[in-house]
Structure formats: C-alpha cells, structure tokens
C-alpha cells in the first residue's frame, strides 16, 4: 500500500480544510486488467505537477492499493485468489489467513475513523470524510460508470453520493452517468461498496467500472478502449476528486457564514 499526501500540519488547517481520506484500490478481480491501466493513469496524474494534483494532495490523504489480489494475478486467475476466493465477496467477514488484503483494507478504513491514521495526528475523521474507490473492469456493459450504495430518496446524502459520478460525466464522455447504479442487489451484499457503507457509514463508496470493450459518445459512435484511454480515465478521476473537494469547501464556507450571521443577530 502507498500513501500520498503533502506535509501539512492537520491542526493548523481551517475547519473546512481538515484532511479528507481517499482509499483507492484495483485488481481485486485479477483478470480485470483495465483497472491496472486506470490505476497507472491515476497515480501518474496524482503525483504530477498539475494544479489539481497539487491542491488535491494538500487536502486529501490517499491510501493506494494498486493490486488487491496479487496472488490471483500471478497465478493467472480471472476472478479469484490463489485460495479460490472471490475477495470482493468477503468484506462482511474477512479472514486474515485467506483474505489478507481485504482484511487489511477494511481494517484501514476502521482505523481512519478511529483517528489514528495520519502520522501521529488525530484525524477526527467521520464517514463523510472518506471516499472509497475500487477499480474494476466490466465484460458486458460499455463506457465507464460507477456502482454506489443505495441511499433513501428522503436523505440529503441521496444527492451527495451522486456528485462525484456527475463530475466524472462532465469531465469526459468516456464516463456515462446514466449507466451508474445505486442499488443493494442480493448478490452484492458482501462487496466493499455495500459493506463499508452499511458497517462504517461511508456513503462515497464506489465500484469504479470500465468496459473491456468500448465507450460510445454523444452521437452513439463506438470508440474502442486503448491503454492510453484507460490511463486518461484515471487522470479524469483525479480531476473530478479535485472538483469535488472544491464543492465541499464551498459548502463548508456557506455553512460557516450562516453560523456567523446567526451569531451576529
């Protein structure tokens, strides 16, 4: 696992600039190679010199797991680990012996919420401060899209959980917002996005899917994916996360301004 963050004293930051956390993983299903290309593009952009990357590193601690199922990849499996386990169906009760990466990822998310994950500083993290992205490849659907947790229509988080997908759709036509789903299917109840949402309350908890085949543009013309396109999609995710942080900060500014105005009255 790799961690990326600029060296900023957490305590010295204003309230709306307290560090957020983003856990990004890939290849939990070893045969889904588009995930590795997207991860490579994500890392190149995140560690680059662009304004978005520099500002994002100041605001977010990134916990990166580039390959969540290395033994499955080494043994040439398509979906399982060397022990024959689909690791993305083990998040409800991972065993350290048979599902060590899943056990560690879940434990890491819990540690962030316990406030002991930022180099000696208490992070005071809440579930709202964490974003979880698990990169996959999809063998049937076209385009890039997201599967997210179900949120009731009456909840304010119903819209919040859709902000990042909408920003991605605005960033590139490779991402199709209308292919996104926010459901809790019976067959997916033990996946990362459902378990981390149910047990830890993380609502920005996504399966980030990229087609093995192609995407279609606004004119319904198909474009076959290439490794360079997958890498560009990873960079688009960085830019969208930056835009999301700007939205969050503006929201916090508005809340603080209302509090100050109320106190003056």
Rounded Cα–Cα distance for residues 244 and 41 (Å): 19
Task: Retrieve residue 233's tokens.
Answer: 């999609």
- The 3-state DSSP class for residue 104 equals helix
**CA 111 centroid distance within chain:** 17
**CA 260 centroid distance within chain:** 34
Give the residue numbers marked as catalytic: 209
Rounded Cα–Cα distance for residues 170 and 158 (Å): 19
Residues contacting 108, CB < 8 A, separation 6+:
1, 23, 63, 117
CA angle 232, 54, 122 (to 5 degrees): 115
Q: What is the DSSP letter of 69?
A: -
Q: Which stretch of DSSP H or E encloses residue 206?
A: strand 204-211
């Amino acid at each position: 696992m790799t961690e990326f963050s600029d060296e900023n004293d957490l305590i010295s930051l204003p309230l709306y600039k307290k560090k957020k956390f983003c856990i990004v993983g890939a290849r939990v299903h070893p045969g889904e190679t588009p995930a590795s290309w997207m991860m490579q593009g994500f890392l190149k952009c995140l560690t680059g010199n662009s304004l978005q990357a520099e500002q994002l590193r100041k605001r977010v601690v990134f916990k990166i797991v580039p390959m969540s199922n290395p033994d499955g990849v080494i043994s040439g499996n398509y979906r399982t680990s060397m022990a024959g386990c689909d690791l993305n169906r083990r998040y409800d009760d991972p065993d350290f012996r048979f599902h060590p990466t899943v056990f560690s990822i879940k434990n890491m998310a819990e540690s962030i919420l316990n406030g002991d994950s930022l180099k000696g500083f208490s992070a005071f993290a809440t579930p709202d401060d964490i974003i979880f992205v698990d990169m996959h490849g999809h063998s049937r659907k076209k385009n890039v899209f997201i599967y997210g947790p179900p949120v009731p229509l009456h909840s304010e988080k119903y819209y919040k959980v859709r902000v990042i997908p909408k920003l991605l759709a605005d960033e590139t036509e490779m991402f199709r917002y209308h292919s996104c789903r926010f459901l809790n299917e019976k067959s997916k109840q033990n996946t990362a996005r459902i378990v981390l949402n149910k047990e830890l309350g993380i609502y920005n908890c996504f399966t980030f899917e990229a087609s093995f085949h192609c995407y279609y543009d606004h004119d319904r013309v198909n474009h076959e994916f290439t490794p360079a396109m997958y890498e560009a999609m990873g960079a688009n995710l960085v830019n969208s996360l930056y835009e999301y942080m700007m939205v969050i900060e503006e929201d916090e500014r508005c809340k603080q301004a209302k509090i100050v105005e109320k106190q003056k009255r």
